[in-house]
Structure formats: structure tokens, C-alpha cells
A and B are shown apart, each in its own frame.
Chain A
Amino acid sequence: MSTQSKGTLLDVDDLRVTFPTRTGLIEAVRGVSFSLGRERLGIVGESGSGKSQTGRAIMGLTPPQARISANKLAFDGIDLLAASPRERRALRGKRIAMILQDPKYSLDPVMSIGRQIVETLRTHEKVGKAEARDRALAMLEAVQIRDPARVFDLHPHEVSGGMGQRAMIAMMLIAGPEMMIADEPTSALDVTVQLDVLGILDRLVSERGMGLIFISHDLRLVSSFCDRVIVMYAGKVVEQLKASELGRAQHPYTRGLLNCMPRIGFERHPLPVLDRKPEWAA
């Protein structure tokens, strides 16, 4: 770990992502600002809220036709918008990692899981083959895969969704990143597996002192997992609050979102629905 142990890891000020389309410009992200320390930050919103595009913009994975602008988009003092593609590539994987929703699409289907982890490690660090293999096995063990040596040689299609997502986390954490962006990392998983994976993620993040951005549509899940929550609507941040204070949310959107989900033991027929106000998006 190089830099300061405390303080800001990521600084985002007035981030905007714009897509040109046939019918004009579409602003997916419209002036998002936040900062991230070594903490768990949740970004919550519904589809089209710009939460995923925010994560992608930080990661540098925005499609080439989109325009990104920001007053500041800095990771550990490095201006990400001014960085060359090569510098960003070096950051990606080594110091910033990302986990996507479905491991089936983000793992290479024709390469064994173990080899993918080894390759990732060896692109970022100069290590020998034997050492890389040992570290990959250790990493697989760290994500609570019971038989690492066997899983090492399996291909992605041969493992279950939960196992695949664990392998994905192992691959992302092998180079020891300081920040991780997880975009709906557990949405494709069964509820019980979901909690296992979150438990692993939680332990690794706190053990290694990483900063985590957890992007999800599930307000309840995010608030039980993260320290701080950002609520996004129509490309903007409508509310930022501590996860523990979610019950005291001020914005009608946040409250509506919390209210409209059925809960065991709270009989409400019909369910309260969200009355979207145009001024929220203004």
C-alpha cells in the first residue's frame, strides 16, 4: 500500500456523462459529486438513474462515443480525465478493480479460472509462474472456495453462479487494488448465496482497507451492507446519507423507494407507490 492510509481515495466533482443519439444528446449522468475514503459507499437507484454509468466513468469503461466531463475526477491525486489510456490501463486491475453483475459474461469462457487469475496477476506484477500459482490458490481460498486446487483447473461454465462470482472477486483482488467498484455483484445470485458473497466481500474490504463502491438497485441490501449511501435519480444525486440513518431519509424519492417494497410482517394493501415528481429530475 503506497499512499496515505486515511483521507480521500477518490474525488468526484460535477461528473457528467453524455451520449449522442440520433435524436440528440442524452445525459446519463448530470453533475454527480462525491468522495470516497477507505469505506463502503453504496450508490442506489433504479434503472436509468445513471448509477452504472457513474461507476463505468470512474473505471474508464464508458463507450467511446460518450463524452465525459468533470470539474474533478481524481483517484489518489491522479487526474483520471487527463491520464493517458495507458496510464488508465495500468490503474485498472492494479489499483482499481471492478466486479460486474454476471460472472458468466465477465470471465473468459475458454480459459480455466486459475489461469485467468494467474494472468491477471502477472500482467500487473513481475512474479514467477510457481509463485503466481500459489498466490492464486491462496486467493481462491480467501474467497472461501473449499477445494481451490480443483476449481483452479475448471472453466467458468463448469461452476455455479455463486462460485463464479467468488472466482471473479478472487481475480479482481489478486493484484491488491485499493479501490473496488462492484456493479450489482450479487443480483444474479440466489438470496442465500448472495449473503455468502457479500460476507466475503465485506471481510476482504475491511481486512485490506480498501475503498468500495457498491452499486445496486436494492436500497435495503445496500443500507445493510454499506457505511454511506448515495441515492441517484435521473442522473443526479438526490440524497446522501449514512446507511444507519436511512430511516430518517428526507427526500421523497428515497422514502418512496423504501416504502414501496413489500416487507414480511407489514401488511399494506395496496402497496404505496412512488409518485414521481418532475422537479426531482430538474
Chain B
Amino acid sequence: MTAAIAIDGLEVIFDRFRALKGVSLEVRSGESFGLVGESGSGKSTLLRAIAGLAPVASGSITVNGKKLGPRRDKAFYREVQMVFQDPYGSLHPRQTVDRLLQEPLAIHGFADGEKRIQRALDEVGLGSGFRFRYSHQLSGGQRQRVAIARALILEPSILLLDEPTSALDASVQAEVLNLLEEVRRRRKLTFLMVSHDLAIVTHMCERLMVMQGGEAVENLTAAQLVAHRVTEDYTRNLLRASEGFVRTA
């Protein structure tokens, strides 16, 4: 099987801060891969570097067999799309859902916009009643559905997910996670998902990489994590923390 995303020795430097220190990674086509870590681990930076939103200092990123240069072309964005963490910040405050979904179609010159918007809204379970609403008329979960619809409307093969549910209530989170799994199954998508929550990553992903301070700590399968077969102390700490508070006294 070919690699959907292959990253080799990736370094990202903001000003003088090394956010990523030579990270390598391979995501197989059709796989769901998780990146886990705490704030400052570089997991979101890695995702943004792939999307072309972070300054790559050295190393290489290959997507579907094509090595990426410093600039992304339009064809890249038809292959790779992203869903952001904060549904309140990722939708333009002055645009209706309709306008938000139309924009990618207009940029890429699709003619059958009407049909595609309708289908995209149906796919994320919103229906046409939401089409002409502004984002402030939507709840957090609905906003995230719109963001997913926008990411899917160009029919990419790879979806980058940056903590897509961490700003949502638990019950809404379940709905959005189910939706993501469903579209992945239906469209045979490759997921690269960032989360600080081990439970979410093991639920969504087959393999995962634990990161800390801009470096990879270890690579695991979800099954290994479930069985607590981890080798690094840091991962063990994360696992323990995810089980809730334990009174020591």
C-alpha cells in the first residue's frame, strides 16, 4: 500500500523557536492516524506544516507520492483539507453557510454548485434549513458540521483534523465523531487527527504517535495502547492521567 502522507525529518522554526525537531511519520492510504500530545508538543504544528500554514525549515513532506514544495498549488487543496479546532473561529462571521460552501466551489471552478452544496449539507446531517444561516445562528456542533461539509465539498482524499471536538460538549462530541467515522467509511478517506485526549484517538485511529516538546516519543497501534503495552514513561503518564483523578492520601 502506498503512503498517503510521508514526512521525513521535518523541522519547523518560528522566529527562533524550534516547534518541530526532525519528526518523521508515514500515514498509509485509507488509514486513520492519530497525533497525541500536550500543548507545545508540536502536534498541531505538524498538521499545519502539511497544510502549508507553518514555515518548514528542513525535511520533506510527500502527499500521495508527490513531494511538496514551499508553495501549495490548487491541486493539493483538492487532495488535502482540514477541520479546525475552534468551530467559533473557523467560520467567517459575515457569511452564510451557503456562501461558505460556495467559496471553495467558486475557487476551483465547479459548475454544479447548487447540487454539491445540497449534497454536502445532507451528508453532514444539516439539511437545507441551515443553508442561509449565519454562523452566529448555529450551535457549536452545527458549526463543526458546516466546517466538515466545507472540507468535504472539494472531495479530498485526506482530511487533517485539528482537535475537531475539543471545544464541544461531550454529547455533541459523540455526534461529530460518529459523523467523521461515517464519512471516512463512505468516502474511504485518510485521516490525520490531532488530539490531547487518548480516549478519542484510540477510538478514532488505528495507529498513533505520541509527541512531546516537538519530538516523537513513540509510535503505537491503538491495540497496544488499549493493552497498556507502552514503552515510554511519558505515554504511561498520559494514560494514567486520562483515567481521571486518583486520591493518593
Q: Which residues of A contact B140 (CB under 8 A)?
A: 47
Inter-subunit contact A273/B178 (CB<8 Å) = yes
Asked whether any CB of chain A lies closer than 8 Å to the CB of B107, the reply is no
Asked whether any CB of chain A lies closer than 8 Å to the CB of B53, the reply is no
- Determine which of B170, B182, B199 lies in contact with A46 in the assembled complex, contact meaning CB atoms within 8 Å: B170
Binds B, one of A59-67, A119-127, A167-175, A218-226: A218-226
Query: With the chains together, A272 CA to B203 CA distance in Å?
Result: 13
**Which chain B residue lies CB-closest to A191?**
B241
Q: Which residues of A contact B198 (CB under 8 A)?
A: 264
Given contacts A190-B38, A192-B38, contact A217 B174 (CB under 8 A): no
Inter-subunit contact B226/A264 (CB<8 Å) = yes
Q: Which residues of A contact B239 (CB under 8 A)?
A: 264
Inter-subunit contact B170/A265 (CB<8 Å) = no
For residues 1 through 57 of chain B, which have their beta carbon under 8 Å from a beta carbon of chain A?
Answer: 38-39
**Which chain B residue lies CB-closest to A47?**
B169
Most chain B beta-carbon neighbours within 10 Å: one of A47, A199, A262: A262
- A67-108 vs B, CB cutoff 8 Å, 1 = contact: the mask equals 000000000000000000000000000000000000000000
Q: Which residues of A contact B204 (CB under 8 A)?
A: 262
Query: With the chains together, A203 CA to B203 CA distance in Å?
Result: 34
Query: With the chains together, A161 CA to B135 CA distance in Å?
Result: 30
Asked whether any CB of chain B lies closer than 8 Å to the CB of A270, the reply is yes
User: Which interface class (under 10, 10 to 19, 20 to 34, 35 or more) fits B?
Assistant: 35 or more
Inter-subunit contact B171/A257 (CB<8 Å) = yes
Residues of B contacting A: mostly: helix
Instruction: Give, as a whole number of angstroms, the nearest-CB distance from B141 to chain A.
Output: 10
Inter-subunit contact B248/A199 (CB<8 Å) = yes
Inter-subunit contact A191/B169 (CB<8 Å) = no
Given contacts A191-B238, A262-B202, A271-B203, contact A225 B245 (CB under 8 A): yes
Inter-subunit contact B175/A273 (CB<8 Å) = yes
- B176-210 vs A, CB cutoff 8 Å, 1 = contact: the mask equals 01100110000000000000111110111000000
Inter-subunit contact A264/B202 (CB<8 Å) = yes
Query: With the chains together, A273 CA to B170 CA distance in Å?
Result: 9
Inter-subunit contact A262/B38 (CB<8 Å) = no
Inter-subunit contact A273/B247 (CB<8 Å) = no
Q: Which residues of B contact A223 (CB under 8 A)?
A: 244
Given contacts A47-B140, A194-B241, A262-B203, contact A273 B174 (CB under 8 A): yes
Instruction: Give, as a whole number of angstroms, the nearest-CB distance from B188 to chain A.
Output: 16
Query: With the chains together, A203 CA to B241 CA distance in Å?
Result: 18
If A221-B245, A264-B225 are given as contacts, then 12 extra A-B residue pairs at C-beta distance below 8 Å, sorted by A number, are: A46-B172, A47-B140, A47-B169, A190-B196, A191-B197, A256-B171, A263-B199, A264-B202, A270-B178, A271-B203, A273-B174, A273-B178
Q: Could you list 30 A-B pairs, sorted by A, with CB under 8 Å?
A: A46-B170, A190-B39, A190-B196, A191-B238, A193-B38, A195-B241, A199-B245, A202-B249, A219-B170, A224-B244, A224-B246, A225-B245, A257-B170, A260-B171, A261-B170, A262-B177, A262-B199, A262-B200, A262-B204, A263-B199, A264-B199, A264-B202, A265-B226, A269-B181, A270-B177, A271-B174, A272-B174, A273-B171, A273-B175, A276-B171
